[in-house]
Chain A
Amino acid sequence: MLKTENIVSQHQYRIAGLVIWILVCILLGRYFQIQILEFERYSSKSNTNRIRKVTKNAPRGLILDRHGEILVDNFPIYVLTAIPGEMINRGLQFKMIADYIESDSAVIATNYNKYYRGQFIATRLAKDLNFDQISRLEENKLNLHGIYYDQIPERYYPSRVKAPHLFGYVKEVDRVIRKSLINEELYELGDLVGWTGLEKQYELFLMGKRGISFYEVDAFGREVGPALELNSQNPDPGQNIQTTLDLNLQAFIEKQMIDRKGVVLVAHPESGEILSAVSSPDYSPDLFTGITTERDWAEIQKDPDRPLLNRYIQGTYPPASIVKMIMEAVLIENTDFDVDVTQHCSGSYQFGDRIFGCWKPEGHGDVNMTEAMVVSCDVYFYKAIRACKIDQVYDMFIAFGLGEKTSIDIPNEVEGLIPNNDYMYKRYGRFGWSKGSLLNIAIGQGELLVTPIQVLNYINLLATRGSSPVCHFVMVGNLPGNVHPELESTTWDRIINDMRAVINHGNGTGRKAQPEINGMEIFGKTGTAENPHGENHAWFIGWAEYLDEKYSIVILLENAGSGGGVAAPLAKIIFSQFASTKNLAFK
């Protein structure tokens, strides 16, 4: 069958055989060298010395405020570890440790199983040991084989500022978390990883690089010195990040927001830097460090006021009358609209078979555009907006960045909702909706939902005539691009002029925001959002011009009442604070 003859010569066979035996001899020679000639050396090394690898967590980078004050720091805590291979009677030892540190041996055993990685790798048993606990363990050290303690850096919050939603928190990497990380090879069990907020967004800066040292340990597990044949690496601390926050202003506003539910954001419109961001109710940032008991955690998760929710990027609210600047822009730019023509407000307006009410049932009488803005007359806008299409309104919302993520530099921002023609068709069908929906949108109700951070960007754009960069929390060189609405300069003039009147006019809904400080001028708009979850939400958005600088503000108070009555007075308190805070300088 197989006809081709074998042509291997005796010569070739001998050479191949020679190669095989040369290779075998090389291997044998090397084993001979190690096992026979160098036996003494390796034998003593194996009898008295073993090499233990110890990793040292790098301290995470600090989080600073705009002036360099420390907001988030590290603090060394004691953790109790065990080398599993050196323990003699595990169950008994756990019981003894539990006695000394007044804990439960079941908890210690759970930790042991959670962190176990190998016979000779330090396994965490307990953390946050205090000095008493350490000294009691130290007294009984002779009975505790293979038990050690170690210091690790943990997050700690030295300032008066809480801002838990902004800072976010870190988690300890366990097996499940490690699996879920994109770059899992960078993490070991017990390392910290940024899980939310700035800690997550800037993880690659903050994390630093773990250090490793190798120790020789004797047969009893005692360290006898560093292993010289292997290079140790010192931990490399993470990079600090400087936020745009002003510590004093943030602390002040947090204090104002105790017992209130909602959001306050303060920014510098020209740079997009956020000076203060409060989402209330909040929780102590310490919640996730130290010993968070299951009960604390369950309690905070079940709280009906949802303190864990970061309201300024994840809360969506009807914007109500704060959209009226957009309506002004739509009307002036899209129609041959005469701002001086008055409309009559009798307190309600019948359109088709539906009656649309004004917030003031007795009506505002005859009002022109500026007067309608000042008193926030709804009927004026119902009537005026009939000349427009829903998509013209939609385009203007989008031009001001509403309905889209602002690319704020903390994770999990939501989009909110701005309806357009397509959306309405999909949602209600061809004939399921009518122009009446547009009337609702004109006063910021209906399907509209916005996040406070979008509103901050909106007010920044108004304050800078469309040129404000994106809002951000950390000083970085390269910001993502922002939307830049382009309006006629006369349109900007009109809108800004009307926002000033809202504050300064005797009937202005925003008059309670006027702090009456020499040299400070205020622009603003209030909003009172009807919502299905009870009492109205109160909005105030605006900015102050003071000593050649602008400070923008967004206030949203959930279920608190009317914007002019509740939100505007809070704005006044904060505006007054600008004047008394010396350090609010820029650049």
Chain B
Amino acid sequence: MIHWKKIDLYDIPWRILIIAIILTLIGLLALKSISYHHTKTLQNPFYKQVIFLLPSIVLSVLILFLPRYAVHKYSFIIYGAGIVLVILPFLDSEHAGTHRWLNVGLPFAVQPSEFAKIFTVIALARYLSDHTLKMKRFSSIIVPFILVLVPSVIVLNQPDLGTAIIMLTPILPMLYWSGSRPFYLFMILAPILSILTAFDTTLFAIWAIVMGSLIFIAQPKMSIGMSLFFGNIFLGLLSRPLWEMLKPYQQNRLITMLYPEKDPLGAAYQIIQSKTAIGSGGLLGKGWGAGTQTHLKFLPVQESDFILSVIGEELGFVTIAFILILFGYLINQILKYSFLSRDRFSSLVLIGIATILMSHVFVNTAMTVGLIPVKGLPFPFISAGGSFLMTSYIMTGLVMRLSIHYSD
């Protein structure tokens, strides 16, 4: 059991929580600015966020009392509960045409896939911290893949491509952290890249050369190296005829899923509006509440997915830079605790959480400025959204808990 007295309060890395709260306050500032036209309190994203903030902070502090071994011991049970959670919305009626939301009798719906992200990381950490595991073996990275694929395939069917991708991302850094050979990770990524590059001859040629040299440098057994190389080339050559075999409407569905901005009515329009809003903000912004672009309601999800556009327009580049650097510092801190951690389990959970947070930040920020296709993913701590805010603070609490230097 944990003995509160044994923990020196100064040992707890409170700065993690403080950074989170600063980011949330910036988010609230932006939400207050755009929510003037909402009359009902519960529909007002500002008040909704305020209502969720306090329990979120309390939750993150409560996690400090959680014994480390308990998280470790029950990680697979937690994982199982996570799987059940993401299946539950399929039993509920559809919300806005998807099965992402779960009605629990509260005035708002809950998005279980947000919480499931943490559970997946914990289960992965548990598996990879098993001291009997031989990481140099290729088979040791198969089970982790199954662990992340199960929940993400379910989430993909909700359908929620963004969250499904986020669930997959922690596996690579975590495998790297637990000492699997980078070459194996490359072997896993290679087929995906082979398929993606196959549609452009030049890209595919470059990829083939890069892949060939990497295999050469890694010096695997001749037979493995050859079959890996030619297997990938074959897969790439095969993907085009397979694509042709799809019916046009199936192709369209895939294209709009991967590249929503091809749809001139939806995403392309949003990106242009988002970029105009951000660009016109300049260095210092137009001033709080004075954003003409965002207030014109051109952006349909400005309180969540496009909150950075609001901040960029009204509060300018200085605020954006402050947010991004603060976030970089936060992630770097988590990485440091992960490096310094004494046991492998804590270290892996920390790197997993760092990856999830960073993926959210990168995908969301890059999307608002048209660097990557539009994916509906919120910015941690800043975007409105109860389930995700709570998840972010649970992760904050876990980070603080697992960073404390003492043995239990």
Contacts and interface: CB of A to CB of B under 8 A. Distances in A.
B275 A31 contact: no
A47 interface: yes
Contacts of A176: none
Contacts of A20: 328, 331-332, 335, 354, 358
A51 B276 CA distance: 10
Contacts of A13: 335-336, 338-339
B339 A8 contact: yes
Contacts of A4: 129-131, 343-345
Contacts of B331: 20
Nearest to B327: A24
A2 B68 contact: yes
B297 A85 contact: yes
Interface in B278-305: 278-283, 292-293, 296-298
Contacts, number: 159
A168 B328 CA distance: 63
Contacts of A47: 280, 292
Interface string A12-44: 110011001101101110111011101101110
B339 A10 contact: yes
Contacts of B268: 230
Contacts of B343: 2-6
Interface in B317-375: 317, 320-321, 324-325, 327-328, 331-332, 335-336, 338-339, 341-347, 351, 354, 358, 361-362, 365-366, 369, 371
Contacts of A222: none
Nearest to A20: B331
A7 interface: yes
A548 interface: no
B contact patch SS: helix
Contact of A230 (B269, B283, B293, B328): B269
Interface stretch (B161-169, B171-179, B187-195): B171-179
A279 to B, nearest CB: 39
B317 A32 contact: yes
A233 interface: yes
Main secondary structure of the interface of A (DSSP, over half): helix
A120 interface: yes
A87 to B, nearest CB: 14
Contacts of B277: 46
Given A4-B343, A27-B366, A16 B279 contact: no
A66 interface: no
A2 B129 contact: yes
By CB atoms of chain B within 10 A, which of A1, A31, A43, A230 has the most?
Answer: A31
B74 to A, nearest CB: 13
Contacts of B316: 35
Contacts of A42: 275-276, 278-280
Most-contacted residue by chain A among B68, B272, B279 (CB, 10 A): B279
A554 B80 CA distance: 68
A231 B66 CA distance: 56
Nearest to B342: A6
B276 A212 contact: no
A90 B362 CA distance: 43
Given A2-B129, A34-B275, A231-B264, A24 B68 contact: no
Given A2-B346, A34-B369, A16 B173 contact: yes
Given A27-B362, A28-B321, A7 B280 contact: no
Contacts of B275: 34, 42
B320 A50 contact: no
Given A17-B332, A120-B296, 13 more contacts: A1-B408, A2-B129, A6-B342, A8-B338, A12-B176, A17-B335, A28-B325, A31-B321, A35-B281, A46-B280, A47-B280, A51-B269, A85-B296
Interface of A: 1-8, 10, 12-13, 16-17, 20-21, 23-24, 26-28, 30-32, 34-36, 38-39, 41-43, 45-47, 50-51, 53, 85, 118-120, 212, 214, 229-231, 233
Interface of B: 68-69, 72, 129-131, 173, 176-179, 264-265, 268-269, 272-273, 275-283, 292-293, 296-298, 312, 316-317, 320-321, 324-325, 327-328, 331-332, 335-336, 338-339, 341-347, 351, 354, 358, 361-362, 365-366, 369, 371, 408
Return the 6 tightest CB-CB contacts between A and B, nearest first: A42-B279, A46-B280, A2-B343, A13-B339, A24-B328, A1-B69
